[in-house]
């Protein structure tokens, strides 16, 4: 299985949280062919800044967030350097370099266009045998999904 970056975008937080929970359930399902490595839920405000959504019910709470996922946050919308750096325990330069090394500019551009102010995104790094399971989860909750196989090693 190859590492894949998957971004699901929704019009509000409710279906994003439902998607994250369903992805956690998929991760735990025997024989699913799905291995979740990291995940996070983010929102984009009116100024175009990305922020990490936090709550006690956050399905990815306590999960390690990878450099590529963090890098994508910075690439898609002006995330505050201090917040992302603190979240990931890394420098923004290293995160950005990891993100650009793995993701094509076309993928990032597509995600930026879809993630307009007021939207919420579920960003995950995973290995999946078949994209159908995640695609069905996202589509069933009214979202759109973007994915790209990693072009190199994911930190």
Per-residue pLDDT 10s for the chain (155 aa) are 568 889 999 999 999 999 999 999 998 898 899 999 888 898 988 888 888 887 666 677 766 666 667 667 767 765 453 345 445 544 334 444 444 445 667 777 888 888 999 999 999 989 999 999 999 999 999 999 999 876 544 33
Residue 55 CB-density burial (10 A; 0-12 exposed, 13-18 middle, 19+ buried):
exposed
* CA 56/CA 136 separation, integer angstroms: 26
Domain assignment of residue 121, yes or no: yes
Answer yes or no: is 34 within a domain: yes
CB 3 within 8 A of CB 151: no
* Gap between the terminal Cα atoms of the chain: 16
Classify residue 155: in a domain, yes or no: no
pLDDT, residue 89, reads: 42
pTM of the model: 0.78
User: What are the backbone dihedrals phi and psi of residue 50, each rounded to the nearest 5 degrees, phi first?
Assistant: -95, 135
Q: Is residue 45 part of a domain?
A: yes
Tell me how long the chain is: 155
Number of domains in the chain: 1
Domain that holds residue 28: 3-149
């Amino acid at each position: 299985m190859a590492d894949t970056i998957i971004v699901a975008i929704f019009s509000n937080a409710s279906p994003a949280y439902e998607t994250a929970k369903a992805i956690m359930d998929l991760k735990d399902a025997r024989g699913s062919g799905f291995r979740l490595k990291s995940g996070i839920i983010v929102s984009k405000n009116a100024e175009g800044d990305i922020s990490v959504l936090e709550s006690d019910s956050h399905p990815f709470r306590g999960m390690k967030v990878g450099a590529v996922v963090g890098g994508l946050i910075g690439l898609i919308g002006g995330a505050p350097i201090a917040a992302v750096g603190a979240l990931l325990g890394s420098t923004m330069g290293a995160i950005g370099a990891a993100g650009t090394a793995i993701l094509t500019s076309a993928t990032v551009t597509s995600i930026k266009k879809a993630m307009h102010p007021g939207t919420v995104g579920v960003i995950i790094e995973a290995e999946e045998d078949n994209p159908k399971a995640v695609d069905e989860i996202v589509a069933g909750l009214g979202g759109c999904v973007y994915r790209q196989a990693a072009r190199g090693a994911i930190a």
